[in-house]
Homo-oligomer: A and B are copies of this chain.
Amino acid sequence: MSFKIGLLGLGTVGTGTAQILLNPDQRHPLVKDLEIYRVGERSPDKLRAIGLDPDLFTADLNAIVTDPSVDIVVEVIGGIEPARTLVLEAIAHGKHVVTANKALIARHSDEIFTAAEKAGVYVLLEAAVGGGIPVVEPLKQSLCANRITTLMGIINGTTNYILTRMQNEGGDFATILKDAQELGYAEADPTADVDGLDAADKIAILASLAFGGRINLEQVHCEGIRAITAEDITYAQQLGFVIKLLAIAKRQPDITEPVPLQIRVHPTLVPTSHPLANVNDVYNAIFVEGDPVGQVMFYGPGAGSGPTASAVVSDILNIAALLKVERGETTQSDGTPLLDPLLAPCHQNYCAIAPMEEVTTRFYIRLQAYDQPGVLGHIGTCFGNHDVSLESIVQLGRRNQCAEIVVVTYEVREGNARQALVELEQYEAIASVSSVLRVL
């Protein structure tokens, strides 16, 4: 059985999505069951450019969402309209929907989810928050046993890039923003990012999932990073903090009388020992605290064609898997019902495992050598004889009348490094090889 996908939009995310579906090898076997059935775009040229059959093209997006053959509509055009109308129309026609549209969901989840529930269809949105980072589904499925108390995230890549550069370079906001715009890390109109509005959309979506209620976006307190100065960053550093734009949603776990939720976006001094403090550049991370799980964090690329498409296709696969279960397909002649193909392990074969000597890795080797002229040279030659390239040979101390020498190699075949060590240990100037560790 194949599942017919109607793809609305072939921009960055749409292209990434199509590229996954066109190359199913070594992905989950269910990817092969997904068929790009119609692509809504302005012109068929974009389809040709990425190897899609131009016959799939249509400029009439409404024809896709009303097409009786389409099972799943993927909305990756962005913005509020016509996305909203198309999504509602798709739902009204019984299509499941996958969307990456955070602005749409943050503003119109009410009518969209009400319509979806009535129609009995899924609206999945992993790609709307955190790009490729699995966070929406883990909140729904993996942390569902918890009382969530805190949700905190670095969920806007542009502002994290700017703050990381201010931190590293000591520069001021305006200069680095300008540079970020030239490099493509910030939009020409940076308002949605630097004033925290994009992060507000995303925390509203996450909080809704974590705290089991809808969020009125207008009640999300929102401050951006325009006012952050180089001085603040320096002083914060002196006090043991880094400044990050955090989106925060919190609830005191009071069982007897529910207390209101806190939900806010603002620059925050984060202790350098906190897991969020080391999330730099365009990376995103979402930190969750719950009872009884404690503290967990999800880290990864918050944007980009590939990561976001990874999230879109995972949503499509989850719907396809559920449809298989719902349709009551059977796998076996005795009528055993089909299991969800994502949750049930389906592999029959053993993986071939490479023997350790075939592995390539970097090495750290610590050895003790007697003081003799040319010993470092001999060590280098010995590794060279076995095709082991060295990054460094350093004498780092003296112990028991020997020089402590540390060798770090480049990526080499483990078998070669082992042979070099056998040869090296025979050399009279080498007293001992005390550690052989691998380096990432």
Q: List the interface of chain A (C-beta within 8 A of B).
A: 16, 19-20, 25-31, 109, 113, 116-124, 126, 132-134, 137-138, 140-147, 152, 207-209, 211-216, 219-221, 227-229, 231-232, 235-236, 238-239, 241, 243, 246, 253, 255, 258-264, 266-271, 274-276, 278, 290-301, 304-307, 309-311, 313-314, 316-318, 322, 325-326, 328, 331-332, 336-340, 342-354, 356, 358-359, 362, 364, 366, 392, 394, 396-397, 399, 404, 406, 408, 434-435, 437-440
Contacts and interface: CB of A to CB of B under 8 A. Distances in A.
A141 B326 contact: no
A359 to B, nearest CB: 5
Nearest to A207: B351
Contacts of A336: 118-120
A350 B292 contact: no
Given A120-B337, A278-B278, A350-B213, A227 B299 contact: no
Interface centre among A146, A290, A362 (most CB of B within 10 A): A146
Contacts of A345: 109, 113, 117, 123, 208-209
Q: How many copies does the complex hold?
A: 2
A55 to B, nearest CB: 25
A7 to B, nearest CB: 14
A440 B270 contact: yes
A351 B211 contact: yes
Given A142-B314, A232-B437, A313-B145, A261 B353 contact: yes
Contact of A322 (B291, B325, B435): B325
B314 A219 contact: no
A91 B435 CA distance: 47
Given A231-B399, A231-B434, A239-B406, 10 more contacts: A25-B147, A109-B345, A117-B339, A117-B346, A137-B142, A145-B314, A232-B435, A235-B406, A236-B364, A243-B437
Contacts of A267: 437-438
B440 A268 contact: yes
A143 B312 CA distance: 10
A194 B246 CA distance: 38
A264 B322 contact: no
A267 B297 CA distance: 24
B351 A28 contact: no
A440 B269 contact: yes
Contacts of A347: 208, 212-214
